[in-house]
Structure 1
Amino acid sequence: TNSRMEVRISEIKSSITSMDKKMEAFTKRLDEAEHRIGNTEDSVHGLETMVQQLQEAVVKLQEKADDLENRSRRCNLRLVGLPEDEEDRDPVSFLESWLPSFLNLLELANNLEVERAHQAFLPRIRNTDKPRMLLFKLLRYRDKEVILRQARKLGALTFNNKPVYIFPDMSADLFQKRKSFFGVKRLCKDLDIPFALLFPARLRIDFQGQYVYIFKSTNNISDFILLSPPPSSYLHVTY
């Protein structure tokens, strides 16, 4: 009986030893796994930081590219509503003589220089009299500002009994940013609140000629105008 018990105890000890070895191996593998997981987490954190930095760099590059694009268009204007073929295949000469007369700008008569002009690169719409937009670049930035200022001063422009519009040329991204202020501008107009859309895309709102607010986005502007009385503690605020 004792021998059997000794054999049994020996078997149990052997099993325990085997389990200890397996547990030791498992613990070693677990430590290695935890180490690899820790390294992976560090790598992931580093990659996340790098991705965030790259995303910020992309945004800055996009903003820089958009700014450069708009700077390259700073002397450009868009003419909308002019009947096609009115320029008789020579839009540059046509604009140089027609614009000063059309806008009653005597100082630009015989002095306006257009570098180039062309129709928008869009297919001509059939069965419609809607003309394509005419894009043109002026030699002098000052002339562009004079034309825009005079167009705003004259108000609604017509040519051959059809409306004509003159706009500054800009990138698609900047156009969408400025367009986002349309509803707020209409609200200001309805409430008789003076406003101005500043370049590139900022809205200036004047309250009672004393309080000036400049908004860079449309977030909550309508609520601000309708619900917030102008504060008395400051005169100029940028949002």
Structure 2
Amino acid sequence: MESDAVQVNKAELAALIRVIIKEEINEAMNKLQPQFDVLKLGLKDCNEKLVDVESGLSGMHDRMDEAERVCKALQKKNKELRDKNEKLESYSRRFNLRVFGLDKDMEKGKPTEFMESLFSEIFKDKLSYKLEVEIAHRVGPVTKHGSRPMIVRMQRYAAKEAILQIAKQEKVLHFKGMKVKIFPDLTAEVSKRRAQFKDLRIKLHQAGVKHGLIYPATLIITFKGDIKYFQDQKSGEIYYNQMIGPTLSGNQVD
């Protein structure tokens, strides 16, 4: 009987312990539940914000793609407009000459009449027809010689070309003690493109290789009967290094 009583007491004790533990756990959970609820709300809020951020990033990516597309379209249009403007400006200058070396104010307020008289004097033994000047005027800053260049627009394109040809051959023309130089009136862009060949042209000149520039900015090289055309300095340098440089013995080539 005593053994049975002990077994009953053990069972009751175990049940009591389980009840106590359960109550303790429930009490602890009840105390922690508000914190769990706060965490749940925080996680929910974070998830909602994350969704908003992802949505915003997606929208921003779409806007960036659209902005990039518009930017490329504008760049293309801008290039087309710049190219068109360059062509129009070059076309408007096709009758023009740029004259350097004239003393300050020697035209005495009548640049057009003065330039027509100057050309008639300089080229009287070189050209048989009258050189008619449409208009002339000074431009740009004062040069190191104390004068500004003169822009001269000829009435005839052939006359302009003839003057340039003679000026190119003679380099310097003389008028009343002045050393006059005449060049084509090029746009800034064309001048920049031509300038890229400067160093290469020096090497070609030193090597005795026939070369020149074709309007607007194409380098032409004649080497051993072969004629080559170059639109940029890099391709010209490659040709020089591969074809001309290796043939040089001293400073002279055929």
Give the TM-score band, short-chain normalised. Answer: 0.7 to 0.9
* 2:232 maps to 1:217: yes
Distance 2:134 2:206 in 1: 40
Match status 1:208 vs 2:224? yes
**Mapping of 1:63-102 within 5 angstroms?**
63-102=83-122
Identity of aligned residues (%): 26
Which of these residues, 172, 178, 186, is aligned with residue 156 of structure 1?
Answer: 172
2:242 aligned residue: 228
Q: Is the 8 A contact 1:194 1:206 kept in 2?
A: yes
Secondary structure at 1:228's aligned position in 2?
helix
TM, length-normalised to structure 1: 0.81
Identify the structure with the greater helix proportion: 2
TM-score, normalised to structure 2's length?
A: 0.76
Q: What is aligned with 2:60?
A: 40
The equivalent residue for 2:201 is: 185
Q: 1:7 to 1:77 in 2, by over 3 A?
A: same
- Matched residue, 2:213: 197
Look up the match of 2:133. 114
Structure 1: tracts of 5 or more residues without a match: 231-239
Aligned length: 223
Looking at structure 1, the residues matched to 168 and 150 of structure 2 have their Cα atoms a distance apart, in angstroms, of 19
Report what 2:181 is aligned to. Answer: 165
Conserved 8 A contact 1:181-1:203: yes
How much does 1:182 deviate? 1.7
Cα distance, 1:220 vs structure 2: 5.9
Q: Take 1:158 and 1:180, find their aligned partners in 2: how far apart are those partners?
A: 30
- Bigger radius of gyration among the two: 2
